Chains A and B, each alone.
Chain A
Amino acid sequence: MPKHGMLIRSILVLAAAALLASIAVGSAAAGHKSRQGGTLRGAGSSLVAPAFSIWAPAYQSAKGVTVNYSSVGSGAGIAQISARTVDFGASDAPFSTAQAQGCVVNGVGCINIPWALAATGPVVNIPGVGTLQLKLTGPVLAKIYLGQITNWSDPAITKLNPGLNLPNMAIHVVYRSDGSGDTYAFTNYLSKVSKQWASQVGYATTVNWPTGTGGHGNNGVAAVIGATSGSIGYVSTAYTIANHLRIARLKNASGRYAAPTVRAIESAASLVNSRKIPKNFVGGLSIVNPPKTKTHKYTNAWPISTFTYVLVPLKTPQAALIKSLIKWVLQPAQQKSIQHLVFAPMPTVVVKAAEKALNKISS
């Protein structure tokens, strides 16, 4: 027995030594890294995550700064920057008043700055209907999500799709159950096109859905739609393309059935040229369903386009690093490098305003 005890003891000692050694090596490596350039930690929006898979390695090789971004959802991004557990948050929805108050720590608040431009779109799983074949209008989409249109052969839908053979099949509505910027953009759009939606449901990162099934995350929504004939849902456009989901066209305000392309998103975003940009982007910039005017028709505009925001405390020890990252992201080269993921370059006025807003951040 004593021999046995000795053996165990020496194993324990060895394990402890190995652990200590690995900690020492690890911290030495970390120390070495921070002397070179530094590390930034960010978390939030899953919509902007594909862009980061391009930006982060490029930024690492250009500036030697490591950016660790975790795609945890817009709501979680807001929560994490409010708790200061990350250096920056990311959200497709701007701070609500309560969230802005929640982000104040020791008298220091946060700012949301737009840094990318993308879209959300309806996807369907109907037997015999391919991508970009189904046409929908905003009011019909709202009625589907209100539970008032419940069958794909409803005249309201067949009237819009004369060439399409729509089955007599129940519609299964699918939405995001976790708080999401996609939900914010989608319900913001439904509120613009349906008075009943606006008064009964409204818009936020989570709403009180009148009907349907919730999927957890983009993956959950895609899984439920993929497995359910007759379903309709909405996901980020980058995600739609990567997973070969079947997109539905939406009629925009000038009467065209648009598809979510980079050009269509750019067209919708040009709305900011005729609007006043709020000081420090309080309340965000909404570009859903740009209205047709005499001077600007937004002929090709995709009606559920959305800016996505970086969330930064106004006073932070990492100010210099964060500001140079955002400045770099705002450059035309970076804005264009993510076009294949269906991100559109932001309009110049927004980039200028964003650069100005950066000056508010200090260390």
Chain B
Amino acid sequence: MSTLDTTSDVPRRPFSGRRVRLGDLLLQGVAGLAALGATVLVGLIAYKIVEGSRLSISTFGLGFLQRVGWDPVHNLFGAETFLFGTAVTSIGALILATPLALGIALFLTELAPNWVRGPVTALVETLAAIPSVVIGLWGILVLGPVLLNDVMPALHSALGFIPLFGPTSTGASVFTAIIVLTIMILPIVSSISRELFLGVPSELKEAALGLGTTRWEMVRGVILPYTRGGVAAAMILGLGRALGEAVAVAQVIGSFSGNGISWNLFNPGNSIGSELVNEFLNYSTTLELSSLFYLALILLVFSLAVNLLAQVIVRRVARRQGFVS
């Protein structure tokens, strides 16, 4: 029915004098259906998640967010370890990835010779194309042992007075997950930043250099302030990616759900996505399944909030700079 409605719409358009073309009708119908389908799908998924989590919400209420442990044997479930682990791993990855990504973007737009820019840009973007399960495998087989034997002991002996760098346990830890996530969000933050830096009017840059600033002063005084809002949006998109990443994190985080809020990054921990990967196909009780839906609901709300925030920032920046968004 909806296709019929859209087709009857076409002749009333401003160009009604023109002959109605089959191609236009098809385009409008197919594109409209695709958009409608995507919207309906999101709605259906959200409905299913809310529906599925109902039993757990009525059993645990908001106390679920503060309870520690995941115990299918005694039917007791809580999200605190997962919430904390998700927050720490994604924020940690963002803190490490942002300066690296900005450095890559500046290098590719301002510093690198022309013949380097193309290949390096392509390589950085290839990083985004590696399947997360492969990065996870590399994380546990190669990265984990290196971190455990070299990096973690060095950090512990130099900065051990900070609770974040406590005694080590195994190569599967919150710290390993942060490094893996850093690698995974690097391409998205750096490629958006690169586009933003390319958009800085060259008159501004040349004017600054003409006034006798160094290249670094130009970057600090012109490029970064000009793109500040856009870079913030890129960071938030990276954060969204890190929040939702499940498979690679499940392989390297060490999936220990009993420690709640533990500040030692070298301990194993758990995240919402990782727990969903581990348990969703394997629930033992109906309450466990419902609690997993509850976790998914929390993740959905988080991701939605992060995406909305990014959109608000992008729109504000676009308005300020006079672009039509």
Binding site for B on A (CB under 8 A): 72-76, 78-80, 96, 98-99, 101-102, 172, 174, 177-179, 201-216, 220, 223-224, 227-228, 231
Contacts and interface: CB of A to CB of B under 8 A. Distances in A.
Contacts of B256: 209, 211-214
Interface stretch (B70-78, B91-99, B208-216, B308-316): B70-78
Interface in B154-176: 169-173
Contacts of B278: 177-179, 206, 214, 216
A227 B170 contact: yes
Interface residues of B, number: 36
B279 A206 contact: yes
A204 B73 CA distance: 6
Contacts of B255: 177, 213-214, 216
Contacts, number: 126
A202 B285 CA distance: 14
Given A73-B281, A98-B285, A177-B255, A224 B140 contact: yes
A214 B144 contact: no
Contacts of B136: 216
Given A172-B169, A172-B170, A76 B281 contact: yes
B83 interface: no
B233 interface: no
B28 interface: no
Given A207-B73, A208-B70, A227-B145, A213 B254 contact: yes
Contact of A206 (B72, B141, B169, B172): B72
Interface in B117-176: 136, 140-141, 144-145, 148, 169-173
Interface in B49-104: 69-74, 76
Nearest to B75: A98
Interface in B244-263: 250-251, 254-258
B268 interface: yes
Contact of B282 (A178, A203, A211): A178
A203 to B, nearest CB: 7
Contacts of B173: 213
Interface centre among A72, A80, A212, A216 (most CB of B within 10 A): A216
Given A179-B281, A223-B140, A213 B258 contact: no
Contacts of A214: 172, 254-256, 268, 278
A201 to B, nearest CB: 7
B286 interface: yes
A271 to B, nearest CB: 24
A231 B169 CA distance: 9
A205 B284 contact: yes
Contacts of A78: 282
Nearest to B145: A227
Contacts of A79: 281-283
A75 B298 CA distance: 24
A213 B170 contact: yes
Q: 10 shortest A-B CB distances, which residue pairs?
A: A75-B282, A179-B282, A214-B255, A177-B255, A202-B73, A208-B71, A227-B145, A76-B281, A213-B254, A213-B268
Contacts of B277: 178, 216
24 contacts: A73-B281, A75-B283, A101-B286, A174-B170, A177-B274, A179-B278, A179-B279, A179-B282, A206-B70, A208-B70, A208-B257, A209-B256, A209-B258, A212-B256, A213-B169, A213-B170, A213-B256, A215-B140, A215-B172, A216-B277, A223-B141, A223-B144, A224-B170, A227-B148
A75 B268 contact: no
A206 B282 contact: yes
